[in-house]
Amino acid sequence: MVGQRYVSILSNHPGFEVVAVAGSESVGKKYKDAVRSREALGFSREVGALEVCPTEPSAIDADLVFSPLPTEAAVEVEPAFAAQGFTVISDASPHRMDRDVPLIIPEVNPGHLRLLDAQMKRRRWKGCLTTTPNCTAVGLTMVMKPLHDALGITRVVVSTMQAVSGAGYPGVPSLDIIDNVVPYIKDEEEKVETEPLKMLGSVKGGRVVDEKIQISAMCHRVATTDGHLESAYIETSSRADPAEVKGILREFRGEPQELDLPSAPRDPIVVREEPDRPQVKLDRYSGSVPGMSVVVGRVRNGLTPNSIRLSFLSHNTIRGAAGSTILAAELMDKKGLLD
Amino acid sequence: MVGQRYVSILSNHPGFEVVAVAGSESVGKKYKDAVRSREALGFSREVGALEVCPTEPSAIDADLVFSPLPTEAAVEVEPAFAAQGFTVISDASPHRMDRDVPLIIPEVNPGHLRLLDAQMKRRRWKGCLTTTPNCTAVGLTMVMKPLHDALGITRVVVSTMQAVSGAGYPGVPSLDIIDNVVPYIKDEEEKVETEPLKMLGSVKGGRVVDEKIQISAMCHRVATTDGHLESAYIETSSRADPAEVKGILREFRGEPQELDLPSAPRDPIVVREEPDRPQVKLDRYSGSVPGMSVVVGRVRNGLTPNSIRLSFLSHNTIRGAAGSTILAAELMDKKGLLD
Amino acid sequence: MVGQRYVSILSNHPGFEVVAVAGSESVGKKYKDAVRSREALGFSREVGALEVCPTEPSAIDADLVFSPLPTEAAVEVEPAFAAQGFTVISDASPHRMDRDVPLIIPEVNPGHLRLLDAQMKRRRWKGCLTTTPNCTAVGLTMVMKPLHDALGITRVVVSTMQAVSGAGYPGVPSLDIIDNVVPYIKDEEEKVETEPLKMLGSVKGGRVVDEKIQISAMCHRVATTDGHLESAYIETSSRADPAEVKGILREFRGEPQELDLPSAPRDPIVVREEPDRPQVKLDRYSGSVPGMSVVVGRVRNGLTPNSIRLSFLSHNTIRGAAGSTILAAELMDKKGLLD
Amino acid sequence: MVGQRYVSILSNHPGFEVVAVAGSESVGKKYKDAVRSREALGFSREVGALEVCPTEPSAIDADLVFSPLPTEAAVEVEPAFAAQGFTVISDASPHRMDRDVPLIIPEVNPGHLRLLDAQMKRRRWKGCLTTTPNCTAVGLTMVMKPLHDALGITRVVVSTMQAVSGAGYPGVPSLDIIDNVVPYIKDEEEKVETEPLKMLGSVKGGRVVDEKIQISAMCHRVATTDGHLESAYIETSSRADPAEVKGILREFRGEPQELDLPSAPRDPIVVREEPDRPQVKLDRYSGSVPGMSVVVGRVRNGLTPNSIRLSFLSHNTIRGAAGSTILAAELMDKKGLLD
């Protein structure tokens, strides 16, 4: 799923050119014959004609490698490519929490990219590895970042309602989700509870030191195709006023906006005032770059003055995966990290 | 929806006999011709042959009136029937929070029925009015009751994923819910945040005094037909251990179980150990009386020792509506309140 | 639903400008405040600022009126506008089968527009009325047209699986469609069985004479949001070979393609070779103008040499409604019928 | 899926006792630990305690073997068991069309069981093999049987809308079916077009001779959990009147009804008069034995006097699988074929 979306987005990218497509199962086939899309995702004629090559450093000649690998494969393959001199950007999970591997949302913690120098030295790699977070952690962290800067977040209790595309393909059997909600997604809550702390943390001595915030995540799978909805109860050090919170979220901008990167939405966070938004079906393609903005709504007082409640939606395979990773690559490119 | 379920359950009830069916739109038709069921709900031949009569006290001769009326109608109709000498049991919302009207879950606060004496005196009614709670508040309050008794609950942050049948018929348009989640249900959160406090409260001087607990509810509509799933983060005065909490929930029994009432499930709360339960589709008909047990799962530590997390499921049109109300009637009958 | 899609498409139309928006319920409000979209449909700032006016000829100054009115309203309103000099284009049903009212699919029967002269004379109207067909009849007729021309169709047995957006908003209650199929859509089968015969018919003496083909339609509502899928068994006068049929369908072009109209897809019919296409979710936005191509697949032999089987999909609110109607207006414009 | 339903039904069967449960993957586990139910299917304590044994004749001591095996496994395993003396009843497909293997719907062709003598002789088996049909062919054949007897069917054009449980577990990925219809089910149409002909055929010289009827099937997968809906256009030798057809269907009875078998519904076919029935959600559990009756509705004239149209629904995992097979076993038992 995510790999196809990479190819689709990169097919018409102004700064990147797809020069190779790798995959163990379809080696030797043309990409257009190998792919069996579950979505109406297009790709250019040139990319369709590429022959799928093996997932090995020696088989590929490229400056940058996007790695939408399954977890087990990523464990070994990503370091192997980085060691051989490739700049690897991955949204696979195994190396996300390594202390010297940047876990990046370009609007949130672009400064963590300076870990790469230390990483290359310590690991004696010719290349480097950058990661992007879990699809559910992305929306949460983007909402937390400006609120934490302004009000100091002490605790988050979040409940998620996640789309089936988050599980890939074939993923969730239809018998498990039609007329159903499943209050469990394997290994998901751990990621949502820890990844934001790393991204909101600081770099010291070539390593990330986590921010100290308590996060409780309860994750649910629901019968939607794309778009993760999350509802959060947030406690803050300072008094949290709904009007002020909405202003803080609306004004949030990051380096991608300042640098006017191709995949950067004008507004990283869109705030809606209607009582019944965001809705998965209506809001998942929000943003000047469709699917790249997080949509926040239902901003309300919590039970105490130092708390706030809100719901937010992010497109899990765009902002939550391929889109964010390509945005990270654009940022690295602009900063000269791909040269 | 709820009315049809009443008729279906009461069609074969050992203690009650349906002697009249009232409804403004179908007066004069036989019940079997008036009803257009959205579910495979049956009813007895005798009930099917009843002629629908107007919703007026003078048109009905019965000891007990079940009132699955829409909110606006209930405001006036229920007091009118109670004034005329009927014992009215209602799951409509307008009178639920009246200080002298019992809001009852038979397992939770049967003692509140003693409000009825004061109610009849103060209001100079020949009959009386008892109410049952919002469908989402039922499951939450049943879970809170034994935990509050044992550990002292101070705060609850709950997120709900509610079925479309909760909105009645025609209710939720399909365009609003296929491939969607709506993070808003009108007036729902207010009910979930206040009704449990009344039910867990105490009776003093013919009035209920609410219990003091903070409840935050974030309510979502999802594409399920029946069964409300809720995930809660609960803070307690005493240390909350998952194993202990599961034991407390499993051992919970109330008057309906002691009195062996016909609609009382053997276990008001069923606790499951699998990591991915309760699920709406698999667990909504749980209980020795199908649909009358609340199913709890994913009992886990919270962020502090004095907190616990869990998910629970209740069938919104059975335990959350008709089933609970009939159970309340059975309780009143056994206590001699219908004589 | 259909009205909003009109506005969305026309917001950026190269040949038409939206100068007025009429609607009885929101008179005086700005369009952007009056509309409550169920889809992520956009519109221009200018259109959003238009004040909704009453649906009366005297309140509107425009050359062309699109009428996405409900059936009952269309009966009287459309002739009233036409009488007053407006060119009315409607996808409402009441006047579709009038013998002197063109029922148009621009690729199929553009010649029927010459009915308008006779219509204006006979009815003594200063303007005129053109209609477009039922959303399910559109796809069927587009597939029938080239096959009938080439092979002579004698009988069609078609079964449809239709999306909920076909019923408008609020339309189909979610309780009626989640985990369900309803083998009935009011008045639908009659339309699907008669409208194609008029469109494939010929104009004689200012009136349409229906083509003689037997059509049996069995219509079903399924739990999809947009896109009507139809499977047809077609009997022909000449031998029908699958490869030849696919060629005929692929090569089909009409006046909109010749005239290069803005809403005309390059290929009115897209034929797919995969065994499991067309699929609603994957193919509904097919075509160089998204949603304007009919997608055909599973072209197979029937039970006799003079028969063929196939499945096809059309987007019911684009090709089946607003898109087709705007294409008809573009055709009339190009032919000088709007001057 | 089907296997679990067997066990659930047989857990409380008056005539059969489950003495062994076999399965290659869980050998040695207790059944209750091996099963991971996707439905709320119960089973007795005794059955739950059975240890799963290997699928080998030597490991099992039983009179009768039910075989809900996947196709590939059934090819070899079923003959192996039959050769060793077991009476095997299977709803797997590989041997269904063998000329000397009965393909049985107990109400339709109980006489085909006399093939078993010839089968055992020719194949030199100590036991025998009986099969039951494809889940979609069951409903169709049950509707065809009384109509063919009365009116002589010459041709059937049927379109199906099938539930995801028909594909087993994990089966259909949710990404393939939410908001989608797939007009293709592998190998399904061939079965629906041929199996009824065998069941309606006659036995001659120890072999079945197919009935000569033309059947066209177009099969679709839709987003329902259980229950296959089919809409058919049927041509007949004699004039077909809707009222007469309804009478014929309602009066249909077979040997299971005459013999009053435990799994036999009183009415094999239920005919409904409402314009919008049968519906999957409302009618799938129809029948005095829930799920064992086929529900027919929308009986209408076809395009000629010798034709009729109707829709029908059958529960695919009950009447379409385990229920029908157990009914066949009950029939064999009553006829002394299990002794």
Q: Per the structure block, which two tokens stand in for A69?
A: 């690998």
C-beta separation of A170 from D170 below 8 A:
yes
Residues of chain B contacting residue C173, judged by C-beta atoms under 8 Å apart: 38, 169-174
Q: Is A187 exposed, middle or buried (0-12, 13-18, 19+ CB in 10 A)?
A: exposed
State whether D179 and C231 contact (CB < 8 Å).
no
Which amino acid, one-letter code, is at D36?
A: R
Chain B nearest-CA distance from D165, in A, is: 14
Chain B residues near residue A311 by CB distance under 8 angstroms: 183, 218
* Residue B40 pLDDT > 70: no
Q: What is the predicted pLDDT for the residue at C114?
A: 96
| Chains in contact with chain B (at least 3 beta-carbon pairs closer than 8 A) | A, C, D
Residues in A lying within 8 Å of D, measured between beta carbons:
1, 38, 164-165, 169-179, 223-225
Give the one of C39, C178, C283 whose C-beta lies nearest to A179's C-beta. Answer: C178
Looking at A296-305, B150-159, C28-37, C227-236, which range is the least confident one? C28-37
pLDDT value, residue A37: 65
Cβ separation C282–A178 shorter than 8 A:
no
Place B281 in a pLDDT band, splitting at 50, 70 and 90: very high
Q: Which of C318, C266, C272, C271 is nearest to C288 (CA)?
A: C266
Q: Which residue of D has its CA nearest to B283?
A: D40
Dihedral sign for Cα atoms in the order D106, D109, D114, D118: negative
Across the interface, whether the CB atoms of C224 and D180 are under 8 A apart is answered yes
pLDDT band at C241 (very low <50, low <70, confident <90, very high): very high
* Alpha carbons B233 and A156: distance in angstroms, whole number: 11
Question: What is the mean predicted confidence (pLDDT) over D307-316?
Answer: 98
Contact D231 C218 (CB under 8 A): yes
| Token digits of residue A125 | 């790699």
Chain B residues near residue A183 by CB distance under 8 angstroms: 229, 231, 276-279, 297-298, 311
The answer to whether the pTM exceeds 0.80 is yes
Structure tokens at C18: 């939206």
Chain B residues whose C-beta is within 8 A of a chain A C-beta are 155, 157, 159, 161, 178-184, 214-216, 218, 220, 222-225, 229, 231, 233, 275-282, 297-298, 302-303, 309, 311
pLDDT for A24: 81
Cα-Cα-Cα-Cα torsion A25, A29, A32, A38, nearest 10 degrees, comes to: -20
Q: What's the pLDDT at A39?
A: 61
User: A280 and B223: CB-CB below 8 Å?
Assistant: no
What's the whole-number mean pLDDT along residues D60-79?
92
Helices (H) and strands (E) counted in chain B, each on its own, are 11, 13
Q: Which chain B residues are closer than 8 Å to C223 by Cβ?
A: 174, 178
Supply the pLDDT for residue D4: 84
**Token digits of residue C57:** 């000829």
Q: Point out the residue among C39, C178, C282 whose CB comes nearest to the CB of A40.
A: C282
CB contacts, 8 Å: C39 with chain A: 281-282
Mutate to test the interface with D, among C140, C159, C220 (most CBs of D within 10 A): C159
Is a pLDDT exceeding 70 seen at residue A40?
no
The mean pLDDT value for B283-297 works out to: 97
Report residue B37's pLDDT band, with 50, 70 and 90 as the boundaries.
low
Nearest CB partner across the interface for C164, out of B170, B178, B225: B178
pLDDT of the residue at A35: 83
How far away is chain D from the Cα of B282, in angstroms, using its nearest Cα? 5
Mean pLDDT of all residues in A83-93: 95
pLDDT at C100 over 80: yes
| Token representation of residue D135 | 């889940």
Chain D interface with B: residues with Cβ < 8 Å: 37-40, 178-179, 225, 281-283, 285
Catalytic residues of C: 135, 228
Chain D residues in contact with C302 by the CB 8 A cut-off are: 216
Chain D residues in contact with B282 by the CB 8 A cut-off are: 37-40
Task: Choose the mutation target among D160, D164, D174, D180 for the interface with C, i.e. most C CBs under 10 Å.
Answer: D180
Cβ count within 10 A of residue C328:
26
Report d(CA B244, CA B303) in Å as an integer: 17
Neighbours of B174 (CB within 10 A): 29
* Chain A closest-CA separation from residue C282 CA (Å): 5
- D280 CB neighbours in chain C (<8 A) are 179-181
> Which residues on chain B are in Cβ contact (under 8 Å) with D225?
281
- Using DSSP, state whether C214 is helix, strand or coil: strand
Least confident of A156-160, B242-246, D64-68, D227-231: D64-68
Distance from CA of C90 to the nearest CA of A (A): 27
Does residue C1 have a pLDDT over 80? no
pLDDT at D36 over 90: no
CA closest to D290 among chain B residues: B40
Tell me, what's the pLDDT at B3? 82
SS3 of residue B330 by DSSP: helix
A174 and D173: CB-CB below 8 Å?
yes
Q: Would you place residue C37 in the very low, low, confident or very high pLDDT band (cuts 50, 70, 90)?
A: low
pLDDT recorded at residue D38: 61
Q: Amino acid identity of A262?
A: P
Closest-CA residue of C relative to B174 is: C174
Instruction: Identify the pLDDT of residue B333.
Output: 96
Contact list, C178 vs chain A (CB under 8 Å): 178-179
Helix (H, G, I), strand (E, B) or coil at B200: coil
Give the pLDDT confidence score for residue A38 in this predicted structure: 61
pLDDT at B74: 93
pLDDT at B41 over 80: no
Report the C-alpha dihedral over residues A80, A82, A86, A88, rounded to 10 degrees: 110
Average pLDDT over residues A230-248: 98
For residue A335, with 0-12 CB atoms within 10 Å meaning exposed, 13-18 middle and 19 or more buried, which class applies? middle
Q: What is the mean pLDDT of residues D323-330?
A: 96
Closest by Cβ to B225, choosing from C170, C171, C179: C179
Checking if the pLDDT of C38 tops 80, the result is: no
| pLDDT, tens digit, 9 for 90 and up, residues D117-164 | 999 999 999 999 999 999 999 999 999 999 999 999 999 999 999 999
Pick the closest to residue B259 from B169, B335, B163 (CA basis).
B335
Q: Which one of A282, A284, A285 would you mutate to disrupt binding with C, by most C Cβ within 10 Å of its Cβ?
A: A282
Separation between Cα atoms, residue D71 and residue D287, nearest integer Å: 30
- pLDDT 10s digits, A297-333: 999 999 999 999 999 999 999 999 999 999 999 999 9
- Residue A111: the pLDDT is 97
Nearest to C223 among D216, D223, D298 (CB): D223
Kindly report, residue by residue over B156-182, the tens digit of the pLDDT.
999 999 999 999 889 999 999 999 999
pLDDT tens, position by position, A42-76 = 788 899 999 999 999 999 999 999 998 888 999 99
Q: Domains of chain C by range and CATH?
A: 2-134+322-334 (3.40.50.720), 136-315 (3.30.360.10)
Pairwise CB contact (< 8 Å): B223 & A223: yes
Q: What is the dihedral of CA B243, B245, B247, B252, to 10 degrees?
A: -170
pLDDT digits (tens, 9 = 90+) for C308-319: 999 999 999 999
Of all residues in chain B, the percent with pLDDT exceeding 90 is 88
pLDDT band per the 50, 70, 90 thresholds, residue B36: confident
Answer whether A184 sits within 8 Å of B220, measured CB to CB. Answer: no
Average pLDDT of span A278-291: 96
Q: What percent of chain A has pLDDT over 70?
A: 99
Catalytically annotated residue among B95, B112, B128, B135:
B135
Contacts of C179 in chain A (CB under 8 A): 178-179
- Picking from B281, B284, B313 by the largest number of D CB atoms within 10 A of its own CB, the best residue to mutate is B281
Per-residue pLDDT averaged across B283-293, rounded? 96
Q: How confident is the model at residue D37 (pLDDT cuts 50, 70, 90)?
A: low
Paired with C162 in beta bridges are C221
Cα separation, A295 vs A311, whole angstroms: 8
**Residue A180, pLDDT above cutoff 70:** yes
| Chain-centroid distance, C-alpha A22 | 21
Nearest to A104 by CA among A254, A246, A227, A231: A254
Nearest CA in chain C to D179: C224
Measured CA angle at A286 (ends A283, A287), to 5 deg: 165
Whether pLDDT at C284 is above 80: yes
Alpha helices in A290-338 (DSSP H): 323-334
Binary contact (C174, B174; C-beta < 8 A) = yes
Neighbours of A (≥3 Cβ pairs closer than 8 A)? B, C, D
pLDDT (average), residues A14-28: 91
- Closest to A229 (Cβ–Cβ): which among B155, B181, B214? B181
Percent of chain B with pLDDT over 70: 99
Is pLDDT at A337 greater than 90 in this prediction?
Answer: yes
| D283, D273 Cβ separation under 8 angstroms | no
Candidate from A18-32, A37-51, B226-240, B305-319 with smallest mean pLDDT: A37-51
| Residue pair C222/C161 in contact by the 8 Å Cβ criterion | yes
B288: closest CA of chain D, how far (Å): 13
Q: Average per-residue pLDDT in chain B?
A: 95
CA distance B23 to chain C (A): 22
Instruction: Count CB neighbours of C170 within 10 A.
Output: 15
Compute the distance between CA of residue D224 and CA of residue D317 in angstroms, rounded to an integer.
13
Of all residues in chain D, the percent with pLDDT exceeding 90 is 88
By three-state DSSP, how is residue B27 classified? coil
Dihedral Cα D157, D163, D166, D170, nearest 10 deg: 140
Residue C207 has pLDDT above 90, yes or no: yes
